[in-house]
Structure 1
Amino acid sequence: MPTPRKSRHSGDSTEVERDGGDGGYNAGIAVFSYIIGGIIVWSLIGWGLDYLWGTRWIVLLGALLGATGGFYLSHMHGLTSQRTSSGGSAADSGPSDDGDSNAK
């Protein structure tokens, strides 16, 4: 069980915050940043290539490449993995190795 710590909020000092309480929010912001950043950067690269070569479709390819790359980076950093909300590990809910189906 995570140990409670004092809240970072000013005011009432009896508020407690669990360790990692804002981890989902931070991961969501990171995923959003990777994807939007990838779209912006690769769209600008595509726009520059479109300007140089006189085409109009490379900017769209760049946006698609940026979104895909941003999702790939967030997935490789472990930000899109499924997390348990109970705080326990996924191994706690599996069957026991000793054959006793009621043991946990």
Structure 2
Amino acid sequence: MRNPKKSDAAGNGRRRSNGSAPGESEASTDGGYNAGMAVFSYIIGGIIVWSLIGLGLDYVWGTRWIVLAGALLGAVGGFYLSHMHGLTSSRTNAGDRHAASGPSQDGNTNAK
């Protein structure tokens, strides 16, 4: 004889194989990791690109300091881009909409 509780648990295990809570999509579970990788990519990419531009200008003009200025400019520019894309803020995800906390405008809590 089959145990109905056991078969339901096995069926639920097959549907949610990623171990996340029900109703939680796979994209929302790794949002912090993706945002961190995007910030890292912007900053490192900016440093590499602007350092190479500075290296080329150093070669053309016979100087040795523009490569450092380019690296600094690339780091600042990468952080600026990640900030403008909303990746460096400490706010919650847009999908996590919660009710406003604290008392209401008129001071009543509306509790029943």
Report the TM range for the smaller structure's normalisation.
Answer: 0.7 to 0.9
SS in 2 for 1:92: coil
Q: Which runs of 5+ in 2 are unaligned?
A: 1-12
- Greater helix fraction, Structure 1 or Structure 2: 2
Shift of 1:39: 0.1
Query: What's the % identity of the aligned pairs?
Result: 71
Change over 3 Å in CA distance of 1:21–1:56 after alignment to 2: same
> What TM-score results when the alignment is normalised by the length of structure 2?
0.70
Change over 3 Å in CA distance of 1:103–1:43 after alignment to 2: farther
Q: Which runs of 5+ in 1 are unaligned?
A: 1-11
- Structure with bigger gyration radius: 2
2:36 aligned partner: 28
Aligned alpha-carbon RMSD (Å): 2.3
Change over 3 Å in CA distance of 1:67–1:103 after alignment to 2: farther
Aligned positions, number: 91
> What TM-score results when the alignment is normalised by the length of structure 1?
0.75
Shift of 1:97: 1.1
Moved over 6 A (4+): none
